[in-house]
């Protein structure tokens, strides 16, 4: 999954529930809030006073680390 500022919080959590820890570590306890189903990363970060670009970077690093390495033929 590639996370952008426009990605919906609920979609990220649906993709991988373990990402809740990343949100919680940033002080965003909105992961179980119904608004997370319609609020994107940028909007949520504004509300919670979190650096949106930093959060996107952390989430993408998390997802990239979980990608299986391509096999060499």
Per-residue confidence (pLDDT) for residue 39, from 0 to 100: 94
How far apart are alpha carbons 3 and 58 in whole angstroms? 10
- pLDDT by residue (tens digit) across 9-61? 999 999 999 999 999 999 998 778 888 899 999 999 999 999 999 999 999 99
Distance from C-alpha of 70 to C-alpha of 73, rounded to nearest angstrom: 9
Can you give the pTM of this predicted structure? 0.88
C-alpha 29/C-alpha 65 separation (Å) is: 24
70 near 19, Cβ under 8 Å? no
Domains plus CATH for the chain?
9-66 (1.10.3910)
């Amino acid at each position: 999954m590639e996370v952008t500022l426009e990605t919906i919080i609920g979609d990220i959590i649906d993709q991988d529930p373990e990402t809740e820890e990343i949100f919680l570590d940033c002080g965003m306890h909105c992961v179980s809030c119904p608004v997370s189903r319609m609020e994107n990363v940028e909007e949520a970060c504004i509300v919670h006073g979190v650096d949106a670009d930093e959060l996107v970077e952390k989430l993408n690093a998390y997802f990239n680390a979980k990608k299986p390495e391509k096999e060499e033929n």
